[in-house]
Structure 1
Amino acid sequence: MSKACTNDGSFCSLLYDLLPVGSFAPLLATVITIALILVLALLVRNLAHRLIGRVVNRASTTTPIAGRFRKNGAATDGIDALLNERRKQRAETMGSVLKHIASIVIIGTAILTVLDRLTIPIAPLLTSVGILGVAIGFGAQELVKDFIAGMFMLLEDQYGVGDVVDVGAAVGTVEAVTLRVTRLRDADGRVWYVRNGTIARVGNESQGWSRAYVDVPVAYDSDVAAVRELLQRVTTELWEDPEFRESVIVEEPSVFGVEQLSDSSLVFRVSAKTLPAHQAEVARELRLRVKAALDGAGIAIAP
């Protein structure tokens, strides 16, 4: 038996006995072993991807509890749809990241095993890779910071596509979210690319629900009880309007009463809880209805 099979165990010995030319046994044994390692790595990778995909699908289809935001069934369905879409986007993004990490770990381990099988010393290679990784880490600190910030942003669901957010550098609607940058479009149509690592704080106007405020200034000598009753009637009519109750308003609007007092006017505040990013629409409708009601009652709006 060839000395080349001494360190290859019984598999090489078996090939040495079967092959007409036994000297090819070590080479063939090595080729078959490498092929088995690569096939096993691909199988494990596919299994890991399927497992991650199953977990992602389960996470993205979990039904949230939205009843605390809405009291009527139609409104609950609207919030459920928004929360489900956000959960699906976050789960799919995290699933993609986990699949890439699993591929790198499994394929990298397989490559190192193959190199070891080919009797290529991997210790110097690992040392070189480690030194190179440290050098790249120092040179790409900002990039690593962006990726880490993006990971935590997705895990904590700070914002998603379609949200109106204030990230300090820009205010606008989120059009795209990646692990490195967030793309926003402001009210003027300008597109902003903000690195995740530079975002120190986020103000999200589209999460859960929003609130519309309307201040109504009337003359100082106006009848407080009459104005409050009029505003209450306006808010009740808005709440009972199917066009708004079934689509944008979360709870019945409230009249807070006199919010500010000066020598020339009384300021009443009306509040309405709405679906995310619909507060401006509801506020405009409230102003129109309040203006019409005040004009009908002969109550002047203070300057």
Structure 2
Amino acid sequence: MGAFAPIIATIITVALILVIALIVRNIAKRLITRVVSSASTGSSITGRFRRSGAATEGIDALLNERRKQRAETMGSVLKHISSVVIMGTAVLTVLDRLTIPIAPLLTSVGILGVAIGFGAQELVKDFIAGMFMLLEDQYGVGDVIDAGAAVGTVEAVTLRVTRLRDADGRVWYVRNGTITRVGNESQGWSRAYLDVPVAWNTDVTTVRAILEHVAEEIWADADFRETLIVQEPDVFGVEQLSDSSLVFRISAKTLPAKQAQVARELRLRVKTALDSAGIPMVATA
């Protein structure tokens, strides 16, 4: 029995190392899950739009969903990394306990890692860019973005590629490492604006009053105030002057990516109001 004592002790030690590694991995996963849960439920950052009721709730819902997606993706990556580190350390410890030389193994792994790193530089670049993109919340699924190589609606985001669908229905796969700048039309809020050109001799006060009435009217419309517009439209007055026309501008803050729909409604209402007042619109150069 004494001859088997070292073997039994080694088996017990190896078993303890593996059990401790599994326990530590489970604890790490629980902590990551708790952090992810906390990060996915944050306070609203749309306090500036408190007057708009359901529109504010719409913005908060979108931001919360984006925050949840980002947190879950990062949580998945962190869980994978923690598992690899913990179990890898446990395996190396077990090998050392079994008196198996790990120095050559570590050297081989290091050389292999360097070789893979040189051969997969673009892949590593894509993954690092994807990590920072998720951490900084540059864009998410459903956003309309200009990624340089393509412009469209984001349909999927991974650590390696971003999938976009443009206005023609064409699907683009853009590697994250190739995106050097992003224009996001869907974060927080958007702006719809309309330039209204009228004749030079048109009474400025009358046109301004008509546009202000249109702004008040669309703001009072529950179909827009509750679902599309987050702040009462502004009339900026005369935006441009030329020898043949005056250009007024009306602007409204909207829910993300809803500016086109609001702008179409503004065009319709402004045209109808000017026609009723007998004020023609003129072409601008």
Q: Which TM-score band (shorter chain)?
A: over 0.9
Distance 1:295 1:209, change over 3 A: same
Query: In 2, are the aligned partners of 1:172 and 1:185 still within 8 Å (CA)?
Result: yes
Query: In 2, are the aligned partners of 1:69 and 1:208 still within 8 Å (CA)?
Result: no
Query: In 2, are the aligned partners of 1:69 and 1:209 still within 8 Å (CA)?
Result: no
TM-score with structure 2 setting the length: 0.96
Say yes or no: does 1:257 pair with 2:245.
no
Q: Corresponding residue for 1:14? A: none
TM-score with structure 1 setting the length: 0.91
Q: Shift of residue 129 of structure 1? A: 0.9
SS at match of 2:247: strand
The 5 A counterparts of 1:225-236 are 225-236=205-216
Q: Quick one: which of 216, 222, 225 aligns to 2:202? A: 222
Say yes or no: does 1:75 pair with 2:55.
yes
Q: Shift of residue 213 of structure 1? A: 1.0
| Number of positions where the alignment pairs a residue of Structure 1 with one of Structure 2 | 283
- Report the structure number with the largest CA radius of gyration: 1
Unaligned segments of structure 1, at least 5 residues:
1-20
Q: Quick one: which of 123, 142, 153 aligns to 2:122? A: 142
The 5 A counterparts of 1:70-149 are 70-149=50-129
Q: Shift of residue 70 of structure 1? A: 4.1
Say yes or no: does 1:297 pair with 2:269.
no
> How big is the alpha-carbon RMSD for the aligned residues of Structure 1 and Structure 2?
1.2
Q: Quick one: which of 150, 153, 165 aligns to 2:133? A: 153
- List structure 1 segments (4+ residues) > 3 angstroms apart after TM superposition: none
1:190-226 residue CA offsets vs partner (Å, 9 max, x unmatched): 1111111110000000001100011111122211111
Unaligned segments of structure 2, at least 5 residues:
none
SS at match of 2:238: strand
Larger relative contact order, structure 1 or 2 (CA cutoff 8 Å, min sep 6): 2
Q: Quick one: which of 42, 52, 69 aligns to 1:62? A: 42
Q: Shift of residue 28 of structure 1? A: 2.5
SS at match of 1:300: coil
Q: Shift of residue 234 of structure 1? A: 0.5
Q: Corresponding residue for 1:165? A: 145
Q: Corresponding residue for 1:177? A: 157
Residue identity over aligned pairs, in percent, reads 80
Q: Corresponding residue for 1:205? A: 185
Q: Shift of residue 31 of structure 1? A: 2.1
Query: In 2, are the aligned partners of 1:150 and 1:180 still within 8 Å (CA)?
Result: yes
1:14-50 residue CA offsets vs partner (Å, 9 max, x unmatched): xxxxxxx332332232222222211211111111001
